Each structure stands twice: as C-alpha cells, then as structure tokens.
Amino acid sequence: MINKKLNVPIRRTAMILTILLSLHHNAFSQMDSSFFYRVLSYREYLNKVLSNNLEYASEKFKISIADARIEAASIFENPSIEIDYAQNREENNYKSNSLTAEISKTFELGRKRTARIIAAKSESTLVRNLLDDYLRNLRADATLDYLTALKQKFLYDVMLNSYQMMKELSEADSIRFSLGSIKAIDAAQSKIEAGILLNNLLQIDADRKNAFLNLSTRASLSHSETIILPTGKFEKTERPFVLNELLTVALSKRADLLAAKNNITIQQNLLTLTKSERKADIDLKAGTSHTYLNHGLSTPSETQIYAGATIPLKFSNLNKGDIKVARFQVDQVELMYKQSEIRIQNEVVKAYFQYKSLCKQVENYNHGLLEKAKGVLDGKVYSYSRGETSLLEVLNAQRTYNDLQTSYYETLYNCNEALIELERSVGFCDIDL
C-alpha cells in the first residue's frame, strides 16, 4: 500500500495535469484564428514565389541595366563649337575687333565604338546567365521550404496522435485508479507522460508555424497578409536517372557554367577593346576668323578660313602593361571555367550517390517496419488495459514507434531534399510535390 502522505501530492499532481491537459486539448484541433491561412499546392506556391519574390524582381533589373549599357556604348563623340570675340586698342586710339568661329570633332579610329558595343553585349549575356542561375537556386530553395513545411506538418501529426493516445490512456487510468484497479503512482505517471508529450507538441507546433511563415517570406507575403498552408504529397520520389546522362546535361545546361563560359568571351572582348583604345584618335577642326579695324573714315577688314587636324603621338603605347593585364585575365577565366566544369561534375556525382543511398533507406522503412512497431504498441496498450503488462512497456513501445515515425519522415525529407539537390546540380527542376 502507498503511504497516505505520498498519496496526497500524487493526487494533487494528477488533478493539476488533468486540468492542464483539458485546457490544451482544443488548442490543437484547429489553426490559430488570429492569422489568415491560405491553402496552396506546390505549383501554386511556386508560381506565387516567381511572381512575388522581391529579391528576384530586383535581380531582373540587372537585365535592364545591362541593356541600357549597350545603348550607352553605342554613342558617338559629340562635335564642339567654339566662338571667340576680341577687341584690341592701340595708342592712337585705333581699335581692332575679331570674331572667330570654330567647329571640331574627335574621330575614333580602331573600331573603338564597335568594340565597346560587343563588350557590352557580352556582359548583357552574362547577366542573363546569372539571372537564370539565380532562378535555378530560387526554385530549389522554394521547393525545399515547401518540403520542410510538409515535413513539419507530418511530424506535428505524429506528436499530436501520440499526445492524444497518451491523454486517452491517462484518462482511462484515472477511471481505473478510482475503481482500485491500478495504483496511484501508475495513474500519475501516465498523466506526467501526457504532460511531457504536450510540451513536445507545443514546440513542434511552433516549428510547424515557423515553417509555414518561411513559405510566406519566400513569396514576399507579410504574415499579416496570409500564412501559406502546404497540401502537397510527402512521399518518396524515385527517378531512373543515368549518371552519364546527368553529367552531359549539367555541362550543357548549368547556367553558372554558361556564365563562366561567357565570362571568357567578355574578357576576350575586353582585350580587343583594350587594343582598340590604344589606337590614336584624330581631331579635325574647321573655322573662320573675321578681323576689322575702326580708325578714320576707312574700315579695312580681313577674313580667314582655316582647317586642321590633330594626331596625338602615342609614345605611351610602348608600355604594354594594359595589354598584358587583359591577356592574363583571359587566361585566368579560362582556368576558372575548367575548374567550374570539374566542380559541377563532382557535385552531380556526389548528389547522385546521396540520392540513391537515401532512396534505399526509405525503402527499408516501407518493408513493414512502421506497421510492426504500430502493432507492438497497440498490443502493449491492449495488454496494459487488461492489467497484463506494465506502463513502462507501453511507454517504451510508444517511444519506439514515435522515433521510427520521426526517423521515417526525416529520412523521407532527406531523400526528397537529395533529389532536389541532384536536380539543382544538373540545372533543372521538374519536381511536383
């Protein structure tokens, strides 16, 4: 028999836990009504991200800027007009007046303007490659956010079911204790276990809501506007990939690799532009000068028409430092391109092996492991209700089943994440959750 002094605090603890559990029971039956929730499928969510994401919208301005630079590179040198007036006085009160008007223009030689336009166009192509690469990563990151939200949703359901089962068990234990079928310590223990599960449920609920908020953040929606609820599938997606084909696609489609290749073109065009700018320009000018004298009754005048050219002597071209710099930069980006090829190939191979390994791990769970654990738990609960087994055995069976479910959903998430990373490394995304 339990000591009466010990029995009183146990009963008080059991009563307090019963009240707390009943207060929180309805808290998890529905979402927080203080926010507006919107159910979106994966495709709907992705479309909203692509249309609403402010960072992506900002990146797209780089294309407009690059196009404007092409337009700016196509301008010609402006002509100049110079007008001078002068008045001179002499000792005998003679004075002379002169008026000079001149027009001049610099003519670029060496096809400098064409070289500038070609360089600006190649930079515009690079900007488009980088935007495609940004979009590739945005799609993958948005998919991972959606997948994370789905995982948290299922983990929440696992913990909610465990909590509800333990709460029902603790309520049954309270009745059995009042009938004298079990000891007070067992009734208190089941309520304590339910309270522990309630705390875990509260934390998982917070993680779930934060995952939902991440979806809204990716879609550039304030939490005051809406919180997105995912409804997609959460299951293994296995694709019959062939590694050699993936490597071929990656080397031909990866936007960052295309950007690295275009960077070589840019540096080559800049080398051409550097050579062109070393060519001497020519300044042509033409003008007229009119001079007249005011003294006595006669006013003799003089008019001159002139033209000329100015050609700089480019002694500075003896220094070829700028040419060397441009050539070294071409060699540098060529090596960087080769390194990018190696890096991308290794990324694809690593992602491929990781994906295949996780698919096998998920398959192990699908061979009846979860069903067996659930059967053991149901059997232990039934035996406990008949007084044939201890509460400890029920708790152990429940923890085993919870751990298995949690591990299963974590592995399932990792498998789908590996698929996303594999497709990211290859340069496409065709997942449908």
Q: Which of 291, 313, 335 is the last residue of a domain?
A: 313
Residue 89 has pLDDT above 80, yes or no: no
Same domain, 152 and 287: no
Q: Residue 286 belongs to what domain range?
A: 78-107+280-313
Q: Can you tell me the mean pLDDT for 134-150? A: 93
Same domain, 222 and 368: yes
- CATH value at residue 368: 1.20.1600.10
For residue 429 the two structure tokens come to 């995304």
Residue 28 maps to a domain = no
Residue 33 maps to a domain = no
pLDDT, one tens digit per residue, over 300-328 is 578 889 888 888 888 888 888 889 999 99
Residue 241 maps to a domain = yes
For residue 36 the two structure tokens come to 């507006």
3-state secondary structure the chain: CCCHHHHHHHHHHHHHHHHHHHHHHHHHCCCCCCCCEEEECHHHHHHHHHHHCHHHHHHHHHHHHHHHHHHHHCCCCCCEEEEEEEEEECCCCCEEEEEEEEEEEEECCCCHHHHHHHHHHHHHHHHHHHHHHHHHHHHHHHHHHHHHHHHHHHHHHHHHHHHHHHHHHHHHHHHHHHCCCCCHHHHHHHHHHHHHHHHHHHHHHHHHHHHHHHHHHHCCCCCCCCEEEECCCCCCCCCCCCHHHHHHHHHHHCHHHHHHHHHHHHHHHHHHHHHHHCCCCEEEEEEEEEEEEEECCECCEEEEEEEEEECCCCHHHHCCHHHHHHHHHHHHHHHHHHHHHHHHHHHHHHHHHHHHHHHHHHHHHCCCHHHHHHHHHHHHHHHHHCCCCCHHHHHHHHHHHHHHHHHHHHHHHHHHHHHHHHHHHHCCCCCCC
Same domain, 95 and 206: no
Q: What is the pTM of this model?
A: 0.80
By the 8 A CB rule, do 205 and 28 touch?
A: yes
Count structural domains, the chain: 2
Same domain, 305 and 411: no
Same domain, 249 and 367: yes
Same domain, 145 and 284: no
Residue 8 maps to a domain = no
pLDDT, one tens digit per residue, over 12-31 is 444 444 444 444 444 444 55
Q: Which of 290, 313, 336 is the last residue of a domain?
A: 313
Same domain, 377 and 396: yes
Q: What is the pLDDT of residue 226?
A: 74
Same domain, 305 and 221: no
Q: How far apart are CA 188 and CA 190, in angstroms?
A: 6
pLDDT, one tens digit per residue, over 203-235 is 999 999 999 999 988 988 876 667 888 987 788
Q: Please give the torsion angle defined by the CA atoms of residues 142, 148, 153 and 154, in that order, rounded to the nearest 10 degrees.
A: 130
**Buried/exposed code over 17-27 (b: 16+ C-beta within 10 A; e: otherwise):** bbeebeeeeee
Residue 159 maps to a domain = yes
Q: What is the pLDDT of residue 179?
A: 81
Residue 238 maps to a domain = yes
Same domain, 274 and 284: no
Residue 15 maps to a domain = no
Q: What is the pLDDT of residue 303?
A: 84
Same domain, 266 and 374: yes
Same domain, 382 and 237: yes
Q: How far apart are CA 358 and CA 353, in angstroms?
A: 9
Band (pLDDT 50/70/90 cuts) for residue 261 is very high
Same domain, 309 and 263: no
Q: What is the pLDDT of residue 31?
A: 52
Residue 7 maps to a domain = no
pLDDT averaged over every residue in the chain: 84
pLDDT, one tens digit per residue, over 349-397 is 999 999 999 998 888 888 778 888 888 888 888 887 787 888 888 888 8
Q: Which of 270, 288, 313 is the last residue of a domain?
A: 313
